Amino acid sequence: MKSLSIRRILLAVLLTLGTQYSSFAQLNSTIDEVVWVVGDEAIFRSEVEKMRQQMQRVSGNPYCTIPENLALQKLFLHQAKIDSIEVPAETVNRYVEMYINEWIQTAGSKEKLEEYRGQTLSQIREETFEMVRDNQVMNEVRKSLTKDIKVTPAEVRHFFKDIPEDSLPLIPTQVEVELVTEHPKVRQEEVDRVKGLLREYTERINSGESSFSMLARLYSDDTESAKQGGEMDYMSKMELDPAFANVAWSLTDPKKVSKIVESQFGYHIIQLVDKRGDKLKLRHILKRVHVDDNDVEACLLRLDSIMTDVRAGKFTFEDAASALSDDKDSRNNRGLMFNVTQDPATGERMRTSRFKMADLPSEIARVVESLEVGEISKPFKMLDRAGKTQCAVVKLKSRIPAHTATITEDFQVLRQIVHDRRAEEFIDKWIREKQRTTYVRIHPDWQNCEFQYPGWIKE
């Protein structure tokens, strides 16, 4: 408790000094300024300015809205630490690669994206990882806080009865999509190259020439763990790729380096750091194989040939999906994709074949948007869940047009709306309580803002 108080005093001093030196900071860009303190976390003027430049639209005064959003973020992230809520790096990396791939396609090339952002791809990836990780953690905190909220059928009927007809929610367009995917073949010389690098790293570690941590920082394709010398957080066996986990759990000597193991993400070497109960702390070096453009093109041509046979009636799209698709989830459903959601009444996972366009992977959504029902797309490239390049073709099975909600057709959607309203009310109350019990200090320049949550300013 004493160290906590000292830290708060230091942050308050920084805030005061920031005010005194603000005019000098405008002349010397190397000096930043603390503008808010929330708990033990500082918000700097540079953070606010950077977000203002990145965000195209901000409701209200951006110099008031942005720091308040950052302060709210810190409340949620602090709660995540209290509740030990984390998001696996693999999950974050999937979203990061999806975003970066979409940005590259929009910009036209990796080089154009780097020029537009004024950053290298590595810097963009690192910055995006932190943003996605924080957002995912905040979402998990929200779920944890509202997990006990249940909605009964009677509450849904009551909501539907009382809401004016012209205020009934509009159900957005939904689609059912069938999918066939194939990964381009990776050339053996590329696999040999990657394995050769990992064998070289192993020899350097075993000979004492280099440490595992240093090589991970320099060469691992897992950019997030690389910053920590390849170290991952304590994880259970169920949280890891099965092939990776089997090798990791066979390690007993922290000085030893594992054999090369192939997972869905690429090739790894692993080292044991510590064991705590049923969880291990590991460090690893990941190397991904690169797919040749010619092999991607060959993969697209194979799918195109298969779809030509489908259109000719030699076999159905569903038969092709069942027999040939790499996507295990949809392959077991004869190509039909399933959307996994949570029942707001029971908290149980539900599977539905209906997707809102926003819930589809972005590459698939772009293609589906232009298809007629029953039409098969041309083959296209996309990233799988592990961030690997794959070729895909989709068929639009059905499209349910946007419509005003009805109690018979859209009961689950209405129940979700009622649940979300109650959850937002709970979160709103939680934020106001956290404001009351959390140390907050705000730079005088921000004292006159009209905040969404006025409790930042302590009377």
Q: Do the beta carbons of residue 258 and residue 247 sit within 8 Å? A: yes
Q: What is the pLDDT of residue 64?
A: 84
Look at 146 and 54; give whichever has higher pLDDT.
Answer: 146
First to last CA, the chain: 25
pLDDT of the residue at 50: 78
Asked whether residue 180 falls in the same domain as residue 318, the answer is: yes
Predicted pLDDT at 217: 93
Pairing mode, if any, of strands 170-171 and 261-263?
unpaired
- Mean pLDDT over 318-334 rounds to 90
Domain interval for residue 212: 188-287
349 and 301 fall within a common domain: yes
Whole-number pLDDT of residue 432:
92
Q: Which of 57-61, 279-283, 328-332, 337-341 has the lowest mean pLDDT?
A: 57-61
126 and 228 assigned to the same domain: no
User: How many other C-beta atoms are found inside a 10 Å radius of the C-beta of residue 434?
Assistant: 19
Residues 150-190 have pLDDT tens digits of 888 999 999 888 888 888 888 889 999 999 999 999 999 99
pLDDT band of residue 344 (cuts 50, 70, 90) is low
Segment among 12-21, 30-39, 332-341 with least mean pLDDT = 12-21
Residue 167 lies in a domain: no
95 and 192 assigned to the same domain: no
246 and 300 within one domain: no
Q: Looking at the predicted structure, is the pLDDT value of residue 32 above 80? A: no
Phi, psi dihedrals of residue 325, rounded to the nearest 5°: -70, 140
Mean pLDDT of the chain: 85
What is the mean predicted confidence (pLDDT) over 410-420?
Answer: 87
329 closest CA partner among 343, 319, 340, 315 = 340
**pLDDT of 1 strictly over 50:** no
Can you read off the two tokens belonging to residue 231?
């170290």
From 287, 303, 338, the end of a domain falls on 287
Per the domain annotation, does 97 fall within a domain? yes
Task: Give the pLDDT score at 349.
Answer: 66
Res 12: pLDDT: 44
Per-residue confidence band for 45, with pLDDT thresholds at 50, 70 and 90:
confident
Domain at 253, CATH number: 3.10.50.40
Q: Which residues neighbour 156 within 8 Å (Cβ) at sequence distance 6 or greater?
A: 407, 411, 414, 415, 418
Q: Assess if residue 160 is contained within a domain.
A: no
pLDDT value, residue 58: 61
| Residue 345 covered by a domain | yes
Q: What is the pLDDT of residue 10?
A: 39
Mean pLDDT of 45-51: 82
C-alpha dihedral over 65, 67, 72, 74, to 10 degrees?
160
Mean pLDDT of 221-243: 86
The answer to whether position 67 is within a domain reads yes
Residue 279, pLDDT > 90, answer: no
Q: Which of 244, 272, 287 is the last residue of a domain?
A: 287
List pLDDT tens digits, range 250-271. 999 998 999 999 998 899 999 9
Q: What's the pLDDT band for 372 if we cut at 50, 70, 90? A: very high
Place of tokens 């805030």: 15
Q: Are 120 and 223 in a shared domain?
A: no
9 and 54 together in one domain: yes
**CA-closest candidate to residue 175, choices 375, 390, 416:** 375
CATH of the domain at 57: 1.10.4030.10
The tally of domains found in the chain comes to 3
Please compute the mean of the pLDDT values over residues 296-320 and round it to a whole number. 94
- Tokens, residue 244: 């990776």
Q: Report yes or no on 406 lying in a domain.
A: no
The pLDDT-based confidence of 364 (bands split at 50, 70, 90) is very high
pLDDT tens-digit map of 95-152: 888 888 888 878 888 888 888 888 888 888 888 888 889 999 999 999 899 988 888 8
Say if residue 239 is in the same domain as residue 351.
no
Q: With bands split at pLDDT 50, 70 and 90, how would you rate the model's confidence at 202?
A: very high
* Residue that is last in its domain, among 244, 270, 287: 287
Residue 159 inside a domain? The answer is no
Residues 193 and 180 in one domain: no
Mean pLDDT of 397-425: 89
- Is residue 6 scored above 80 in pLDDT? no
> Do residue 279 and residue 327 come from a single domain?
no
**What CA–CA distances, in Å, run from 406 to 33, 174, 286, 350, 413?**
53, 15, 50, 20, 9
Shared domain for 16 and 83, answered yes or no, is yes
**Looking at the domain assignment, is residue 346 inside a domain?**
yes
The whole-number pLDDT of residue 209 equals: 93
Same domain, 114 and 132: yes
- 88 versus 186: which is more confidently predicted? 186
